[in-house]
Amino acid sequence: MERISQLLYKYLQGSLNEAERAELMAWAAADAANWELLNRVIDEESLEADIQRWYAIPRRSVADDSRLNAVIAQHEIDTKRQRLRQQIRRILPYAAAVLIIAFAGIWYTHERGQSEMHEIATEKILNGGNKALLILADGRKIDLSTERSGIIVGDGQITYEDGSSLAVLPGIGESVQTISQLELSTPRGGTYQMTLPDGSKAWLNAASTIKYPSSFSGKERIVEIAGEVYFDIREDSKRPFKVLSRGQEVEVLGTEFNISAYLDENETKTTLVNGKIRLSLAAKPGEASLAPNKSLILVPGEQGALRNGHIAKSNVDVSQYTAWKDGFFDFNRLPTPAAIAQLARWYDLDVVYDGKLPEANLFAYIDRNKPLSAILKALEKSKLKFKVVQAGERKQLIVLGEQL
């Protein structure tokens, strides 16, 4: 927890580098309790209230922490004549990290229900597979077959790729068929593919969602995604295809591309395999259209990255960003936290960092269909060590850090 406290302190100071931010986000995404704790720390009002409560505790309290006292004492001379609120606001970045260290044990005991942990063999943790949930417009939820890998939407019904019926959509037999809004989502450790009503194809990586209509009408074909999705779009010059994701819009006529838009990552990455796409910032509420200076054109081999409301493009090795669709992890100069985040989604693990991570990036090309033990063995060549423990109902991957 000392390491997380350091990262939180740097976050509040605005001094996190890319690798550190990825590490902090991976920790937060690994557990709902982590997210809640992170949100409480970065929410200034909540943090201020917490510090104010601890500030009011007498110095003789058994719950007092000498490090927090030292931080407060540093500022007392300059703040004697100021109100308590002003004193607290001045020490927010300093006291936050100390509070996390001092009381993290109490937090985790409460949130995790005092669950006992025991180490388990990594050979027993199998890779992800075909898993997805289909949500129909009327709210019905259908767990899709793990024995099949994809579905087809069209002709008023949804079928598996082998033609077996899955669901009949509303409006069949009526003169004007009803257009339903549907949703397909994969859990952590799941993947699935689908054929959209126009014949375009989409592959969903783990922990991803696509929202789409039962049929495309009008002058545009529009879907919305979260997580990571690979598209192979059927060309239709009269009806451009648009993909909406976090903070951006992608417009295409006929092409193949990958979008990674996970909420726990600080960038949305759009990688073009072939064809041509226009990548734009999503219109804000009240804006009539997208401004020309807020978009760019991507050609094959380029990637558009959206971060903090700005988009930029660069040349990349496309295969690194599409390898997952073909069943591989491609860690080519990838920061350790980013690689570990991919493993966590595919093997459905929570991640805990315990030790210093190597500064060098990872190099590995690994079959995603192997058990976790084979993946970790390959990564241990980068001087990392791991262990897996059962913590209540969840499995935790503990990254022990660089081993000399």
309 has pLDDT over 80: yes
Q: Please say whether the beta carbons of 335 and 18 come within 8 A.
A: yes
Report the relative pairing of strands 181-185 and 302-307 from DSSP bridges: unpaired
Helix residue ranges per DSSP H, 43-190: 44-55, 66-79, 84-111
pLDDT per residue as tens digits for the range 184-200: 999 999 999 999 999 99
Extended beta strands in 84-220, E state: 117-120, 129-130, 133-135, 141-143, 150-154, 157-160, 165-168, 181-185, 190-195, 201-204, 209-213
Task: Report the pLDDT averaged over residues 282-286.
Answer: 67
In sequence order, the 6+-apart residues with CB closer than 8 A to the CB of 278 are: 250, 251, 252, 295, 296, 297, 298
How do residues 46-97 score in pLDDT, each as one tens digit? 555 555 554 454 433 434 444 455 545 555 544 444 554 555 455 555 555 5
- Domains belonging to the chain, first-starting first, are 2-114 (no CATH), 120-125+328-402 (3.55.50.30), 129-320 (2.60.120.1440)
pTM beyond cutoff 0.85: no
**pLDDT for residue 374 is more than 80:** yes
Average pLDDT over the chain, rounded to whole?
Answer: 80
| 163 vs 322, higher pLDDT | 322
- pLDDT tier at 116, thresholds 50, 70, 90: low
Contacts of 194 (CB under 8 A, 6+ apart): 150, 151, 152, 153, 184, 201, 202, 204, 210
Q: At what angle do helices 84-111 and 32-42 cross, to 10 degrees?
A: 180
Task: Indicate if the pLDDT at residue 109 is higher than 50.
Answer: no
Q: Which residue, chain included where needed, has tokens 């992170």? A: 38
